Amino acid sequence: MNPMEYKDYYRALGLEKSATSDEIKKAYRKLARKHHPDVNPNDPEAEERFKEINEAYEVLRDPEKRSKYDRLGSNWQRYQQAGGDPHGFDWSQWFSSGGGRPGAQRTYTEYGDLNDLFGQSGFSDFFQTIFGSRAGGGAGAAQRPGAGRDAEYPVDITLDEAFHGATRILQTGDRRLEVKIPAGVDNGSRVRIAGEGPPGAMGARTGNLYLVIRVLPHERFQREGQNLRLSLPVDLYTMVLGGEVVVSTLKGRVSLRIPPGTRTGQSFRLRGQGMPSLKSGESAGDLFVEAVPVIPSELSERERELYRELSAIRKEK
């Protein structure tokens, strides 16, 4: 086969080979936050670095993969120290036989699956050859059977979770999947988990699992695409005389000015207070607040007298 580049996963995360699981996780999270594509838009170098970090973490966090990688690394180093030609190293004994032990635990990171982020396999040839997706490649390699079929799994989330993003834990046998649901999803949105669908024929890669999202109704907000609508109770005095009211949005509390003489059901737009967009670079929707007057009850005799006076004045006009 063609010469293949050895990947130093410890160096990618800035770690020693004696690093503990906690040290590996801490280093990964720090570097992933720094180089995440959302933090570095339109930066190809950051994207490549992010892929390298995720690939290194995928191996070093898994005891079985890490053990195999450490054995490979020791052989590679001995070969180099002996003055061996890098192009002559025998990689064949390290080829994956099908992608790891069936039923092995796999946990998705908070940044989701690499296939979702980059639209294709985000792992290097080195990773795929040693740990899965292919069994060596090159001339004379056996043709692998077709992939398994895809599957769908319904998931209910609240509107708050759809606004901020959410995480779901899926348990399948002894495997635990932690899946991130991005902010901005709506009814019918599908979150892909690559390679976690039903298995295909012997030796074939598995299909994909899709989480089909249903956003539960909210007691205060109605959703209209990316926009939100809210009915806001406003006391009668503010409706008539004007004033400031506080609106609790999904982002937090904001002030809204009510002009004098506001009519029942009059709508006010709060720009950017609606749902976030799933598309990168696209602005959030708006929140439309409809003013609903609150009629005072349990009036004192003095208040009733004043209302009678106001009524008489209006009739005179």
Q: pLDDT tens for residues 271-281?
A: 999 999 988 77
β-pair type (227-235, 221-224): antiparallel
* Residue 81's pLDDT band (cuts 50, 70, 90): low
Residues 300 and 169 in one domain: no
Please answer whether residues 94 and 130 qualify as being in contact, where contact means their C-beta atoms are separated by less than 8 angstroms.
yes
Residues 131 and 200 in one domain: no
Q: Does 69 reside within a domain? A: yes
Q: Does 142 reside within a domain? A: no
Which of 95, 118, 137 is where one domain is finished? 137
H, E, C per residue of 181-241: ECCCCCCCCEEEECCCCCCCCCCCCCCCEEEEEEECCCCCEEEECCEEEEEEEEEHHHHHH
Residues 1 and 124 in one domain: yes
Which of 217, 242, 277 is where one domain is finished? 217
Look-up of token digits 């979150």: 191
Most confident of 109-113, 145-149, 202-206, 309-313: 309-313
Residues 183 and 234 in one domain: no
pLDDT(183) > 70: yes
Condensed to tens digits (0 to 9), the pLDDT of residues 119-133 reads 334 567 777 777 764
Condensed to tens digits (0 to 9), the pLDDT of residues 1-52 reads 344 678 899 999 999 999 999 999 899 888 988 887 767 877 888 888 888 8
Residues 1 and 123 in one domain: yes
Q: Does 110 reside within a domain? A: yes
Q: Average pLDDT for residues 175-181, to the nearest whole number? A: 83
Residue with the bigger pLDDT between 295 and 142: it is: 295
Q: Does 284 reside within a domain? A: yes
Residues 30 and 123 in one domain: yes
pLDDT(152) > 50: yes
* Residue 234's pLDDT band (cuts 50, 70, 90): very high
Q: Average pLDDT for residues 149-175, to the nearest whole number? A: 83
Residues 14 and 77 in one domain: yes
Residue with the bigger pLDDT between 161 and 89: it is: 161
Which of 185, 217, 249 is where one domain is finished? 217
Helix (H, G, I), strand (E, B) or coil at 245: strand
Residue 192: give its domain's CATH number: 2.60.260.20
* From 75-79, 198-202, 222-226, 288-292, the region with the lowest mean pLDDT: 198-202
pLDDT(266) > 80: yes
The residues, ordered by sequence, that sit 6+ positions from 262 with a Cβ below 8 Å of its Cβ are 234, 238, 239, 242, 291
Residue with the bigger pLDDT between 229 and 202: it is: 229
Residue with the bigger pLDDT between 151 and 188: it is: 188
Residue 128: give its domain's CATH number: 1.10.287.110
Residues 212 and 225 in one domain: no
How far apart, in whole angstroms, are the C-alpha atoms of residue 265 and residue 244?
17
Element of type H or E holding 289: strand 287-294
The domain in which residue 71 lies consists of 1-137
Count: domains in the chain? 3
Residues 179 and 266 in one domain: no
